Amino acid sequence: MTPSEFSIRHSTTISVLIVILIIAGIYSYVVLPRESFPDITIPNVLVTTNYEGVAPSDIESQITIQIEKKLISLSKVKEIRSYSSEGASTIVIEYDSGIDIDTALQKVRDKVDEAKKDLPSDLEDDPFVKEINFAEFPIMNVVFSGPVGLVRLKEIADDFADDVETINGVLEAKVTGGLEREIRVVYDPERLAAYNISVTQVMQAVRSNNLNTPGGDMDIGVGNYLLKIPGEFQNPEEARKLIVFSNDNVPVYVTDVAQLQDGFEEPKTKARYNGHEAVTVSVIKRSGENIIEIADQVKALIHQYQQSTPYGTVISVDTDMSKDINIMVSDLENSILSGLILVLLVVLFSMGLRNALLVASAIPLSMLITFMVLKLMGLTLNMVVLFSLVLAVGMLVDNAIVIVENIFRHRQEGKDRLTASIVGTHEVMWPVIASAATTIAAFFPMVYWPGIVGEFMAYLPKTVIVALTASLFVALIINPTLCSLFVKAKSLSPGNSKNRLVIWYTHLLEGAVDRPFYTLLCSLCMMILIVTAYVRFGTGVEFFPEVEPQRAYIDIEMPKGTNLDQTDAMTRRVEKPSSEYDEVKSIITNIGTTGSSMQSFGMVSGNSPDISRIMLEFVDIEDRKIPSSQVIARLRQTLSPIYEADIEIQKEEGGPPTGAPVSIEISGESYDVLEQIMREAKERIRAIPGLVNLQDDYVVARPEIVVNVDKERAALLGLNTQVVATNVKAAIRGIEAGVYREGNDDYDIIVQLPLDRRKDLYALKNLMISDALGRYVPISSIADIRLSAGLGTIVRSDQKRVITIEGEVEGRLATDVLTDVQNTLTAIQLPRGYRLEYRGESEDREEAQEFLSEAFIAALMLIMLILVTEFNSLYKPFIILTSVILATVGVFIGLLVTNTPFGIIMTGIGVISLAGVVVNNAIVLLDYVGQLRERGVSARDSLVRAGIVRFRPVMLTAITTILGLAPMAVGISYDFRNLTWQVDSESSQWWGPMAVAVIFGLAVATLLTLVVVPSMVSAGDAVTSLARQMRNWITGRTERVRV
C-alpha cells in the first residue's frame, strides 16, 4: 500500500492533520522574525587601534606593521588590508568563505596580544578586535531636531535611548550628535612659571584628590564594617580649592594657576536634519529578532515622547528598514492571494469550481508547512526568503494539478471517487516524485554557493527546496484524500471529448510526429536564429539588476587641513540644490564624519574635519515625478562645477555587499611611483563614457606642525623627548585628569591651555617647560618647530602599499565600461615590482559566474541521474535534457523582448531553476507514453494519445507558474490590504529579471514538451526502426549467402 492509498483510506486522520497543519502554520508565520537582510557571516575581522594625534607614517611603522607581522602567520586568510590614517590604524583580515568566525576572532586576538609588547607604551587603549556583522547595522534612525538647542536635544535623546534599550530584542541604541559636557582646568603657563609649578603637578593634584578608595573592613564588637575613603568630587567647584604645591607653608591652589570651566567639549562633528541642528539615535536589533515588532514598539515610544518634549521639538524616523520588510511581506501575501485567484480562474474553466478549489488548496497548505519548517530551521523572513516564497508560489500547484487532473480524468471515465483517487494518484505518483526531485536537484547545488554573495543568495535554494518538498507532500497525501471526498466530474460524452484547442493541438502534434526530422530541423534553425539575434541585439551582461534607489549619498572631501567650519560651509552649499527636489523626502547631514549607513557598512571610515556626508532619502516610488536615478544624475551635473572639493554622489546598493563597478588596484613599494601611475591611469580613463565618480584613496596629508627635539640640548637640561611630548600634548590636546560623576553620567576633567593659545603657533613656540632643576625654558630652546606635510592615509594589501582607483557607472552596463577601462590601461608601462589588478565588483562577478556555471553542470548531472533512475534508460533522459538546453532559447527571447541585460546572478539563477522546472512535464508525458506502449499501443499512437491526455495538465502547470511570476516580471500587482493596484514595485525591479527568465523559458519549454519532445521520440523510433530493418536485411542476406 502506497502512502497515498493509505491517506485516502484514512481520510479522517488526514482531515485532522490538515487542521493541525493550518494552526501550526499560521502560528509559525505570525512568530517568524522579520528582517530586511539575511543574517550572514561576513568573514572579515577588524583590528582597530587609536593613537590620537599621531601622523599616518608613524601609525604605519609603530602600529600597523607591528601587528601585521603577527597576522601573516594566520591560515585560510584571503587578504590582509590595512589603513594607517591620522590617529588610527585599521587592519581588515578577510578570510576564505566558510571559516568559523568565532575561531577566527580568537586567533586574531591571540596574534594581536603577541604584538602588544611591540606597540607604543602610551597607547590609551589596547587594539580592538571585532567582526563585521550585518545585524549591527541600525534598523532605523530616530532624529531629534528643533529650536531647543543641542544640549537639550542631547538630554532628550539620551533618555529616549535608555528607554529604547529596554525593548525586548534591541541590542543597542547609539546617540550621535549634540554637545558633551566637559570640565576643563585651563592653566596659565606664566603663573605656573611664577610659582615654579609644572603642568604635571596640576594634573596630579586633580587626579589624586578625585578618588574613592576602599579601605577594607573592620570588626568592631559583634559587627563588621566596610571602610572607605570617599574622595570623588561632589561638585566641580571642589577642584578650585585643591592645593597644588606648598612652599614654606604657603599653599598654591588650583585657582591660583588655572581657571575651572564647566562647559562642553569642542565639537568635532556636526549633524543636521533637513537643515536644522539634530541629534540621532540609531536603533540596533539583536540578530534573529523581529524587526517589525521592534520598530512598532520604538514608534509607540516616539509617540509618548512627542507628548512630553518641549514645544517645537521634532522627532522624525529615518532609514526605517521595517517599512521595506513590510512591503516585502505584503508582496508575499499579495502573491499568495493572486496565485490562489489565478489558479482558481485557470482551473475553473478546465475542471470546474470544486476541482479548482482542490488544486488551489495546495498553495496555502504548502506555504503553511513551509513556514513551520523555516521556523524549525531558525530562518527569518528576510528579503531573499520572501522572494523565494513568491518564486515558489507558481510551482506549488504543479504537482497538485497533475494529481488532481489525473483523478478528474478517471472520474470522467466513470470510476467512483475512491477508485479514481487511488488509481489516478498511483498512475502518476512516480513521475510526480521524479518531477519534484529534478526541480529540487536544480536548486540543490546553489546551497553550496561560496563567498558573501553566496551566503546571501543561499537562502533562495534552501527556501525553494523546503517549499517544493512541502508541495510534494500536499500533492501525494492531502490532495488525493480531498479528491476522494470532494472531486466531481461528469462522464465524457463521445461528442464532447475534445475542445477546439485540443483539436488544433492534435493536428499539430500528428504533423510533428509524422515529420519528426523536419520539426527538429525547424527547432534547430529557430534556436540558431534567436541566439544570433541575441548576440547581435542583446543589451549585454550585468552583475546585479539596476534598481531605482531609495537613498543616495553625497560624500564631500575638502583639501586636507580644512577645519570643520569651512567644511560645514561647503556642505551647506551642496545641501541647497538637493533640497529643491520634491522627490527628496529628508536630508541627513553629517559634517566631520560619514555617519552610519549600509553604504559604508563594514568599510573603514573615521572622523576628520575635512569630510562630510549628506544622505538623501527619497519619497516612495509611486510618489516620485521623476525616477530617483534621474535626480542623482541631475545633482551630479549641478555639482560638477564645484572644484573646491571632491564630491561623490552614489546611490544606495541593495543585496549583498560588493565592490565598486570599476576598481583598479595599483601595488608597489614607493608611494611616489604609485601616485604617478595612479594619476596617469585616471587621466587615461577619465573620458570613458558612463564612468562617473572617479576617485582614488591616495590621501594628501594634513599640514603638520613638527616638533623636532634636540636630544642633546634637552638632556643637558634633564629633559627628554617623552617629557617634551607630554607637555605639548597637555597644552594642545589636553590630558585627562580624571572623571566627574553626576548620577549615571561621567564627564571628563581635562587639563589644557586656553583656547586662544591652542590656536597660536607663536604661543606653542614659547610654551614653558620645567627642567630638572625646576627652571622654566621655552620649548623653542630645545626643539625645532616647523610646518611640514607627510603621507595621508597609507593603505597596504598583504604588506604592500596600494592605491585604489574606483568609479561608478551611469547610463551603461558596468561590464561594458570595465572592458573599455581594461583596453585603455593596457598601454601603461609599469615599473618592475609594480602591479595593476582589477578588483571590486568584477572580482565578485567572475567568482559568481564560475560558480553558477559549475552549479548548472552539477544540476544537469543530478537531473540526469534522477531521470535515468525513473526511466531505467539513457535514451529518454537524453531527450529530456536536450529539451532543457533548447529551453534556454526562451530566456534569450525574454531578454530581447524586455530589453533586459543578462544578469549573472538573477538570470543565471533563473536558468538553473528552469533546468529543473522544464523537465517536469516531459517526465509525466514520456512516462505515460511508456505506460501506453506497455498496453500494446503503437509507437505513433502512443505519442499522439499521451500528448492529448497530458495536454491539459501541461498547459495548466505552465500557465499557473507563468501567471504566478507575471506580477514580479511586469511590476504590476494588486494590493489586497489597501485594495489598490501597485505599479513598478521596488522588489520587482530587483527580482524581475529572474522572473523574466523563468516565464519565457517555461513558455518555450512548454512548446518543446508538447511538440518537440514527441518529435524527438518519433525520430528516435524511426532511427531504431531503420536500424532494425538494416540489421534484418543484413541478417537475411547473410543467410541467403550461406544457403
> What is the Cα–Cα distance from 412 to 422, expressed in whole angstroms?
15
Report whether 372 contacts 24 (CB < 8 A).
Answer: yes
CA atoms within 13 A on the CB side of 370: 28
Mean local confidence (pLDDT), 428-434: 89
- pLDDT of amino acid 906: 84
- pLDDT of amino acid 539: 81
The secondary structure of residue 116, as a DSSP letter, is: G
Nearest Cα to Cα of residue 397 among 434, 425, 424, 367: 367
Whether the predicted pLDDT of 164 surpasses 90:
yes
> What is the Cα–Cα distance from 354 to 489, expressed in whole angstroms?
10
pTM: 0.75
Q: What is the pairing mode between strands 140-145 and 276-285?
A: antiparallel
Amino acid found at 583: E
- pLDDT of amino acid 240: 86
* Neighbouring C-beta atoms of residue 122, cutoff 10 Å: 10
Mean local confidence (pLDDT), 232-248: 84
Whether the predicted pLDDT of 603 surpasses 50:
no
- pLDDT of amino acid 362: 87
Percentage, residues of the chain above pLDDT 70: 95
> What is the Cα–Cα distance from 801 to 81, expressed in whole angstroms?
9
- pLDDT of amino acid 597: 47
Mean local confidence (pLDDT), 799-818: 87
CA 183-187-192 angle, 5° bins: 150
Helix then strand then coil, % of the chain, to nearest 5: 55, 20, 25
- pLDDT of amino acid 604: 45
- pLDDT tens column, 216-231: 888 888 888 888 888 8
Residues 6+ apart with CB under 8 A from 273: 143, 145, 280, 314, 316, 318, 586, 587, 588, 589
Domain 548-653 has what CATH class?
alpha beta
- pLDDT tens column, 6-45: 999 999 999 999 999 999 999 999 888 887 777 777 788 9
CATH 1.20.1080.10 fits 3-31+324-543+845-1029, yes or no: no
- pLDDT tens column, 493-520: 544 455 678 888 888 888 888 888 888 8
> What is the Cα–Cα distance from 862 to 916, expressed in whole angstroms?
10
C-alpha cell at 536: 547581435
Report whether 480 contacts 8 (CB < 8 A).
Answer: yes
- pLDDT tens column, 954-965: 888 888 888 878
- pLDDT of amino acid 1041: 55
> What is the Cα–Cα distance from 395 to 402, expressed in whole angstroms?
12
- pLDDT of amino acid 469: 94
Report whether 461 contacts 442 (CB < 8 A).
Answer: no
- pLDDT of amino acid 902: 87
Average pLDDT, the chain: 84
- pLDDT of amino acid 246: 82
Report whether 882 contacts 870 (CB < 8 A).
Answer: no
Check for a shared fold between 3-31+324-543+845-1029 and 548-653: no
Torsion of CA 821, 823, 825, 827, to 10 degrees: -160
490 or 600, greater pLDDT: 490
At residue 199, the 3 state secondary structure works out as helix
- pLDDT tens column, 619-673: 888 788 898 889 998 998 899 888 888 888 888 876 666 778 889 999 988 888 9
Report whether 463 contacts 370 (CB < 8 A).
Answer: yes
- pLDDT of amino acid 275: 86
Mean local confidence (pLDDT), 867-894: 84
Whether the predicted pLDDT of 577 surpasses 80:
yes
Whether the predicted pLDDT of 415 surpasses 70:
yes
- pLDDT of amino acid 381: 83
Task: Point out the least confidently predicted range of 78-82, 779-783, 971-975.
Answer: 971-975
CA atoms within 13 A on the CB side of 262: 9
Q: Which residues face 647 on adjacent strands? A: 556
Cell numbers 570651566: residue:
261
Which stretches of 490-574 are assigned E, i.e. beta strand?
A: 541-542, 551-557
> What is the Cα–Cα distance from 285 to 292, expressed in whole angstroms?
11
- pLDDT tens column, 376-396: 998 888 878 887 887 787 778
Give the domain ranges of the chain: 3-31+324-543+845-1029, 181-264+704-788, 548-653
Q: What is the DSSP string of 632-663?
A: HHHHHHHHTT--SSEEEEEEPPPSS----SEE
Torsion of CA 506, 508, 509, 512, to 10 degrees: 160
Cα radius of gyration rounded to whole Å, the chain: 37
Percentage, residues of the chain above pLDDT 90: 16
Amino acid found at 994: M
Mean local confidence (pLDDT), 983-1011: 80
- pLDDT of amino acid 598: 43
Pick the CATH number of 181-264+704-788 from 3.40.50.2300, 3.60.150.10, 3.30.2090.10, 3.40.50.300: 3.30.2090.10
> What is the Cα–Cα distance from 616 to 611, expressed in whole angstroms?
17
Q: Is 33 exposed, middle or buried (0-12, 13-18, 19+ CB in 10 A)?
A: buried
Report whether 283 contacts 165 (CB < 8 A).
Answer: no
- pLDDT tens column, 83-128: 888 788 999 998 887 788 888 889 999 999 999 988 988 787 889 9
